[in-house]
Amino acid sequence: MPRACRSSRSTASAIIRRWNRPTRSAISSTPISSAIDDPRLSDPPAGAAQPMRTAFRIVAIAALVVLVACLAWFIPAKMGAFATDRQAMVARYASPPSRFVTVDGVPMHVRIEGQGPPVLMLHGTGVNLHEWDPLAERMRGRFTVVRMDWPPYGLSGPIDPKGYSTARAAQLVGLTLDKLGYDKLAVVATSNGSNIALQLNANKPERITAMAFSILPLERPSQTRKVDWRIKRMAAFNDAWLRDYHPRWFYRLAFKDTSHPGWQPPEFLSQMMYDMSNLPGAIGRQKQYLASNVVLFKTTDVGAIAEKVRVPVLLQWCAQDTVISQGAGASVKRFTNTHVDLIEYPNVGHWPMWEIPDRFAADIMRFLDANPAAAGTAKP
């Protein structure tokens, strides 16, 4: 065969071989049935996906359980099923010697114990007269301890058509003292109870013989203090979805957030605040009072009322209380017409009567002993 023919034949064979060689596009266009038979493309063994499916089912079931549990709590709470019963609370917190005295149409929860010169104790925001239990226990052997819930807190009221404010609370406290027959007495007050006490003195200065303050808001409470993030989140949730109810743990956090880090608040305090705040309509009434306070602090010089005090004053300053914005020195200076005894507690928060009950009570009684005329006169 001529060389040219052999060469042409070889070239043709090479072209045919190249044409018949499988290409990538040819592989990609392989029939599906053939691809299925390819062991490289087959599914993993049946048992390999089982753990993943099982884990997914567990997560889904857990999420469903959590959702059902949340709804089982939220729906009854929204409908008021967890609201505390007033009669049950009266039985729990107003047993003898507590009683109710009605003034200006408002029933006031009053508790009087002990014997000797009378001392009025005014509680702070969010709690009731039982805030003073540790101090009352230590003083009632030598003094007549007079306590009352001032609206909108505790068991007084609950409804006051004239609204809720510092001025109104001081008026009701004064009317109650008139009805009980206390013309002269000393006053021990804390937190917003201190504002009530100062207004009480301004209304009828001849009644007050001495004043002891532990937490004294002469300026608007701090708006920059670091608040536990859980309290912020829960408060936002309640404002949006559940305005009339707060769970018990919310109040536990509130006490922890405002006290000395080394102190463990007793369960009684958070239970008391939970019980009182979850009475029907209580949170709404408390918000009315707090709103009136905001207006008061924004539009007036609240601290100026301290200038009207002319009786001896004891200021028990709690250095780790972060609620009050002004300092001890600034507070003392506002009392321009009297002498102030200042005692500073370096490791005490917002609840000195519970955090350091023995020393707190001893300092108050020492103050009253040093001012015999300031101890008041016993009820006839």
Dump pLDDT digits (tens) for 323-344. Answer: 887 889 999 999 999 999 999 9
Burial per residue of 262-273, b for 16 or more beta-carbon CB atoms within 10 angstroms, e otherwise:
ebebeeebbebb
Per the listing, tokens 């009475």 go with: 279
Which of the residue ranges 145-149, 194-198, 265-269, 371-375 would you say has the lowest mean pLDDT?
A: 371-375
Q: Please indicate, yes or no, whether residues 173 and 289 belong to a single structural domain of this protein.
A: yes
Indicate if 92 and 207 belong to the same structural domain.
yes
- Of 81, 104, 128, which residue is a domain's last? 81
**Residue 167, number of CB atoms within 10 A of its CB:** 16
pLDDT over 70 percentage in the chain: 81
Q: Which residues pair with 341 in a beta bridge?
A: 314
pLDDT one-digit tens code per residue, 8-25: 444 444 433 444 444 444
The answer to whether residues 136 and 189 belong to one domain is yes
The pLDDT, as a whole number, for residue 16 is 37
Q: What are the distances in angstroms from CA 352 to CA 123, 140, 319, 360, 377?
A: 12, 18, 11, 7, 27
Whole domain around residue 194: which residue ranges? 86-223+278-375
What pLDDT sits at residue 36? 44
Confidence (pLDDT) at 49: 67
pLDDT at 1: 45
Determine the 3-state secondary structure of 182 from DSSP.
coil
Number of domains in the chain: 2
pLDDT of residue 73: 61
Q: What pLDDT is stored for residue 339 in this prediction? A: 96
Task: Average the pLDDT over each of 40-49, 183-192, 283-292 and give the range with the smallest value.
Answer: 40-49
Identify the CATH number of the domain in which residue 148 sits: 3.40.50.1820
198 vs 57, residue with greater confidence: 198
Q: So what's the pLDDT on residue 80?
A: 63
- On whether both 104 and 163 belong to a single domain, the answer is yes
Looking at the domain assignment, is residue 332 inside a domain? yes
Let me know if residue 244 belongs to a domain. Answer: no
CA-closest candidate to residue 311, choices 216, 172, 220, 204: 204
Residue 293 lies in a domain: yes
Same domain, 199 and 332: yes
More confident: 62 or 377: 62
- What's the chain's Rg over C-alpha atoms? 37
**Dihedral-angle region of residue 296 (phi above 0 means left; psi in -120 to 50 means alpha; beta otherwise):** alpha
When comparing pLDDT for 217 and 6, which is higher?
A: 217
Residues 123 and 56 in one domain: no
Confidence (pLDDT) at 44 = 54
Q: What is the pLDDT of residues 24-50, one digit of tens each?
A: 444 444 444 444 455 444 555 555 567
Is 75 in the same domain as 217? no
User: Does 20 map to a domain?
Assistant: no
- C-beta atoms surrounding 65 within 10 Å: 10
What pLDDT, on the 0 to 100 scale, is given for residue 140? 97
The predicted pLDDT at position 48 comes to 56
State the helix-helix crossing angle for 267-277 and 86-93, rounded to 10 degrees.
140
If pLDDT is split at 50, 70 and 90, which confidence band does 78 have?
low
Q: Does 73 lie in the same domain as 202?
A: no
Mean pLDDT of the chain: 85
Judge whether residue 182 has pLDDT over 70.
Answer: yes
Whether 162 and 214 map to the same domain: the answer is yes
User: Across the chain, which distance is largest between two alpha carbons, in Å?
Assistant: 149
- Is 251 among the domain residues? no
Query: Is the domain of 155 the same as that of 282?
Result: yes
Domain-located, residue 22: no
Is 236 part of a structural domain of the chain?
Answer: no
Residues 290, 163 share a domain: yes
Among candidate residues 60, 81, 102, the one where a domain is terminated: 81
Domain boundary at 81, 103, 135, which? 81
Q: What is the average pLDDT across 138-162?
A: 97
* Predicted TM-score of the model (pTM): 0.79
| Single-letter code of the amino acid located at 271 | Q
Domain annotation covers residue 334:
yes
| Statement to judge: residues 97 and 77 lie in one domain | no
Q: What is the pLDDT of residue 121?
A: 99
Find the angle CA(160)-CA(155)-CA(280) to the nearest 5 degrees.
75
Distances (CA, A) of 380 to 177, 180, 316, 332, 369: 13, 10, 31, 35, 22
Mean pLDDT of 89-112: 98
